[in-house]
Amino acid sequence: MSDGIINVAAGLILRPDGQLLLGQRPEGKPWAGWWELPGGKLEPGETVLQALSRELREEIGIEVTRAVPWVTYVHAYPHTTVRLAFCHVTGWNGEPRGLENQRLAWVNPAEADTVGDLLPATLPPLRWLQLPTTYGITSIGGRAGLPAFLERLERALARGLKLVQLREPDWPDGPGATSLRDATRTIIKHCHAAGARVLINSVHPDAWWRQADGVHLRWQDAATLSERPAVPEGALVGVSAHDNAQIVHARELGADFAVLGPVLETPSHPGQPALGWEGFVAGNQDAGLPVYALGGQSDDTLNDAHRHGAHGIAGIRGLI
């Protein structure tokens, strides 16, 4: 590109047991001794995945058989700026070995810093890896629907759902009705018992965010903010977005992730134009944070989402 930024492809090489491969920069290179994700600069005419395959062959001696784009992130070092196209690598032939006199180590991404100093640009993707790839959204509607919803939720949690958004803008008020606040407490209890986190949609009182695990901002609420909302340490902030400008704003707010859609037609928004997968790719360009695909998503579309650079999928009917 002509913007003076160095374009780099970086691979998160992940074993089935979740261990991630890191390499230590050898003597004679800038940041020698620091640990990083394997990869390197794009050559003229190369795509990201082509450059990644070449670099991993030259650097650690593996032949990539499965890789998908993930998050593209711009990082400014003191003397240069790099655009890092992070990719997930889950299939390869050969055993990684340091062909450039670099040490290699398999690490638990959540404890990667135990290996030594990590390059600053390596820290964000290690954090993003902690996010699950499916994000369920509630649609209970009122007291009458709660028992059936809790049964569906339990099944989804048993299947491994680890992140849930409570979003009930149409919950009716009325004497004798189970309050939404009580329902929220019940849902949080069920999710926490299964090791899942709950975010509260910003249509609901902010006092509830602190009882859960963070907030999911509607776009109309995110648009009014110029900084990350005040949430407890360790809590998550998600943002709903519909185009690239809104994704950029989510990143500037310091959100942990965004949701972009609708990608496909969905019963919950009949007649609303869908982005399609190419529209999702355009909206997700240089996002700098993980982005979930929303709209018509289910376990059947997860591979499509990953191929188009999504962190994962978000949905109502397809996930809960």
- State the pLDDT at residue 176: 47
Asked if residue 256 and residue 116 are part of one domain, the reply reads no
- State the pLDDT at residue 268: 67
- Exposed, middle or buried, 175 (CB in 10 Å: 0-12/13-18/19+)? exposed
Asked if residue 262 and residue 288 are part of one domain, the reply reads yes
Tokens at residue 52, please? 């990644």
- 297 assigned to some structural domain: yes
DSSP 8-state symbol, 56:
H
**Is the Cβ–Cβ distance between 185 and 149 less than 8 Å?**
no
Asked if residue 171 and residue 150 are part of one domain, the reply reads yes
Where the chain has pLDDT below 70, the residues are: 1-3, 173-178, 268-270
Domain that holds residue 210: 134-315
Within 94-146, strands assigned E span 104-107, 134-137
- State the pLDDT at residue 267: 72
Asked if residue 141 and residue 289 are part of one domain, the reply reads yes
pLDDT per position as a tens digit, 9-62 = 999 999 999 999 999 998 888 889 999 999 999 999 999 999 999 999 999 999
Asked if residue 146 and residue 27 are part of one domain, the reply reads no
| DSSP run (H or E) holding 121 | none
- 128 assigned to some structural domain: no
Report the phi/psi class of residue 101: left, alpha or beta, with left for phi > 0 and alpha for psi in -120 to 50.
left
Cα-flanking dihedrals φ and ψ of residue 206, to 5°?
-70, -20
Half-sphere exposure of 231 toward its Cβ, with a 13 Å CA cutoff?
Answer: 27
- State the pLDDT at residue 34: 96
- State the pLDDT at residue 79: 85
Helix and strand tally (H, E) in the chain? 9, 15
Cis peptide before 16, with omega less than 30 degrees from 0? Answer: no
Beta bridge partners of 118: 35
Residue 272 belongs to domain with CATH number: 3.20.20.70
Asked if residue 207 and residue 146 are part of one domain, the reply reads yes
Asked if residue 151 and residue 276 are part of one domain, the reply reads yes
Tokens at residue 222, please? 């995110």
- State the pLDDT at residue 1: 42
Asked if residue 299 and residue 231 are part of one domain, the reply reads yes
Tokens at residue 175, please? 């004497």
Asked if residue 102 and residue 175 are part of one domain, the reply reads no
Dist. CA 264–CA 97, nearest whole Å: 42
Residue 114 belongs to domain with CATH number: 3.90.79.10
Asked if residue 189 and residue 60 are part of one domain, the reply reads no
**Is the Cβ–Cβ distance between 52 and 87 less than 8 Å?**
yes
Asked if residue 214 and residue 139 are part of one domain, the reply reads yes
- State the pLDDT at residue 269: 66
- State the pLDDT at residue 2: 44
